Amino acid sequence: MRKKIAAGNWKMHLSLTEAQKLVSEIVNMYQDEYRGKAEVIFGVPFPYLHPIHHLIKDKNNIHLSAQNMHQATSGAYTGETSAPMLLDTGASHVILGHSERRQYFGEDEALLAAKTDQALAHELTVIFCIGESLEERESGHMLAVVKKQLSGGCFHLSAENFSKLIIAYEPVWAIGTGKTASPAQAQEVHAYIRQLIAERYDAQIAAGCSILYGGSVKPENAQELFSQKDIDGGLVGGASLKSRDFVDIIKAL
Ligand code: PGA
C-alpha cells in the first residue's frame, strides 16, 4: 500500500549512547509535534537494532530497519547477519542495494535479488535502493541504469511479493554531497520507475508502490521534493542524525 515514509539511514555513525539519545528526542518531538500518518523508519547499524527496538517497540508508525543482511538463513558465514537474526532484534525492515553496498562491497543484481527473496521469505519489508552515478547521468544512461537495477533486483518477484517492497531512488551523485536532485529531476525518474512497474506488473501495483527519494534530503528541500506527484517520502542519511532536522523532514510529509 502506498504510504508516506521518512526513513533514516544512519550508515556507520553514532555511539550507542548518541543513538539512544537521538531516537528518544525524535520520538518525543514526533509525538508532540506531528499529527500526520507518515511512517518513520530508523535504519541503524546491526549492534544497535535491539537496544533501539526497546525504545520504539510500542510506538505507532515507528519502525526499525537494518542496513543490510545475508542471503542465507544460516551457515558458516563469519561476520554476517541473517534475516531470522534481524527479526529477533525487532527489526521489521531491511535496506538492500544501497549504492554504498553496490560500490564498496560489490553487490550486484543477482546477489540483491537473492537477498530480496530471503528478506521477503522472512516477512521483512525491503527498502530497495536504485540510482545512477553522475557519469551515467551525464552520458545519458540514467534511465537504462535505473531499469537494469530495478528489473535485475526485483522484477523476478510475483506481483504479491513486489507489492511488499518500498523502492528508494537515490542518485549516487546526490548522496552525502549536498547536491540534491531538483524536484523536477527526481520526479522524472520517479515517474519512470512507476511506469516500469506498471509495465511489468499493472497500473494498480504501480500506483500502490511507495517510492522514496534519497540524496541530501534536508528540511529546506524536503517539502518541495515530497510535493512531487510520484515522490512518497525520503531515505535520509546525514539529516537523519539530527533530531530537529529529521523531525522537520517528517513534518514536510
Ligand atoms: P544523504 O544520504 O541524505 O546523506 O545524502 C542518503 C542515503 O545514502 O541514503
Identify the three-state secondary structure at position 162.
helix
Annotate 114-140 with b (16+ C-beta within 10 A) or e (fewer).
ebbebbbebebbbbbbbbbbeebbeee
Record the pTM.
Answer: 0.97
Q: What is the secondary structure of 13-42 as a DSSP string?
A: ---HHHHHHHHHHHHHHHHHH--S--EEEE
Cell numbers describing residue 199: 509495465
Q: Which of 5, 11, 175 to mutate to test the pocket of ligand 1 (most atoms within 8 A of CB)?
A: 175
Cα(101)–Cα(187) distance, integer angstroms: 25
Question: Do residues 207 and 146 touch, judged by C-beta distance below 8 A?
Answer: no
Q: Can you give the pLDDT at residue 81?
A: 98
Percent of the chain with pLDDT over 90: 97
Flag whether pLDDT at 177 surpasses 90. no
What ligand 1 atom has the least distance to the C-alpha of 216?
A: 5
- The pLDDT of 65-69, averaged and rounded, is 98
Each residue of 38-59: pLDDT tens digit? 999 999 999 999 999 999 999 9
Torsion of CA 27, 12, 147, 127, to 10 degrees: -30
What ligand 1 atom has the least distance to the C-alpha of 95?
A: 9
> Which residues, listed in sequence order, are joined to residue 126 by a DSSP beta bridge?
94
- Cα(58) to ligand 1 centroid in Å equals 27
CA-angle at 14, arms to 125 and 54, nearest 5°: 50
- Cα(34) to ligand 1 centroid in Å equals 23
Is residue 13 annotated as a catalytic residue, yes or no? no
Task: Give the contacts of 143 (CB within 8 A, at least 6 positions apart).
Answer: 189, 192
Each residue of 7-21: pLDDT tens digit? 999 999 999 999 999
Is residue 98 annotated as a catalytic residue, yes or no? yes
Q: Can you give the pLDDT at residue 1?
A: 85
Closest by Cα among 218, 122, 123 to 164? 123
- Cα(96) to ligand 1 centroid in Å equals 14
Q: Under CATH, which architecture does the 5-251 domain have?
A: Alpha-Beta Barrel (3.20)
**Dihedral sign for Cα atoms in the order 36, 186, 212, 203:** positive
Q: Which of 9, 100, 246 to mutate to test the pocket of ligand 1 (most atoms within 8 A of CB)?
A: 9
What ligand 1 atom has the least distance to the C-alpha of 168?
A: 9
Closest by Cα among 31, 102, 41, 35 to 68? 102
Question: Do residues 107 and 80 touch, judged by C-beta distance below 8 A?
Answer: no
Average pLDDT, the chain: 97
